Amino acid sequence: MDIASVIAEVPEKIAELQLSFSSGAVVGSTDGFYISQYILWMFVATAILLIVVFAAKRRMTLVPQSKFANAIEALVEFVRKDVGEGVVGKGYEKHLPFLLTIFLFILFNNLLGLIPGAKPGTGTISVTAALSLVAFVYFNIYGMKKQGVGRYWLNLAPKGVILPLAVMLWFIELFSLFLRLMTLAIRLFANMYAGHIVLGAFALLTTLFLTPLIQQGISAAALVTALPSVIWMALLILMYAMELLVAVIQAYVFVMLTGVYIQIAAGEE
C-alpha cells in the first residue's frame, strides 16, 4: 500500500468518523425513550464528580494534608475568588454553590471526553442547552426576587430616554436577554464538538499512514508511506494539549458569563 492508496481511503474513513460522533441510541430505541452516547458519558462524568467531591470532603482537615483534597479545594477557591468575588461581587456567597456545581459539572464532562473512546457530555447541544436554560432561569429569577418582577423587566429599557425610543430599546434588550441563552449553549457545544472532531481526524490520519508499516513490516516503501504519520502524530499531541486547555477554559467561560449575568440581574445595590 502506497501513499496514494492511503489518501484514497481518507474520505471514507472521515465519513465513518463523523458517524461515530452522532447522537444515536446506545440504550433504548430512537422510536421512543433512549439514551445517546453523550448522555451515557454525562452520567459517567456526574458519577465520577460525585465520588471525587465526597472523597475530597472526607479528606479535608483544618491543617491541609491530602494533595487530592487540596486540588479540589483549589478549584473551589478559584471559582470563589475569580467568579464570586471578582464578578458577582457583594452577596456572592449565596450563588457560590450554584456556580461551583456548573463549573465542576462542565469541567468533568469536558475532561472525560478527552479519554480515547469516551465522549464529552458537553459535546451535544441538548446538554449545553439544558445547562444554559438552568443558568438563564437562575439569574432571571434572582433578578426578579432582587428588584421585583415589574421593576426587573422594566429596567431592561434605559432610563432618561423618550418613550418611543425606550420601547424600541426594551425589545432590543429583551432579544439580547434571550440571546444569552443561545450563546451560552452554542459556544460550549461548538468548542467541545469541533475540538473532538479535529482530534479524531488527526488520530485517524496517524493510524491510516501507520497501517502499512504495521501490516507489511519494516521496508523502504512502508517507511515512506508511514512518514506523514510523524507529522499527524505531532499535530495530534499538540491538539490534545490545546484541548486540555480548552476543556478548562470553556468551563471557566461558561461560569464566568453566568456570574456576569447574575451581577447584571441584581441591578442597583
pLDDT confidence of residue 56: 78
Give me the pLDDT at residue 226, please.
67
Q: Which pLDDT score is estimated for 20?
A: 74
In whole angstroms, give the CA distance from residue 125 to residue 22. 12
- Note whether 186 and 125 are within 8 A (CB): yes
Torsion of CA 145, 146, 148, 153, to 10 degrees: -100
* pTM recorded for the entire structure: 0.86
Answer whether 100's CB lies under 8 Å from 79's CB: yes
**Residue range 210-230: average pLDDT?**
65
Which pLDDT value is given to residue 258?
A: 94
Whether residue 8 is predicted with pLDDT greater than 80 in this model: the reply is no
CA distance 92 to 73: 18
Partner residues linked to 267 by β-bridges: none
For the chain, how many structural domains are there in total? 1
pLDDT at 27: 75
Q: Residue 256 is part of which domain span?
A: 3-266
Give the residue-averaged pLDDT of 235-255: 91
- Kindly tell me the sign of the dihedral angle through the C-alpha atoms of 262, 87, 75, 242: positive
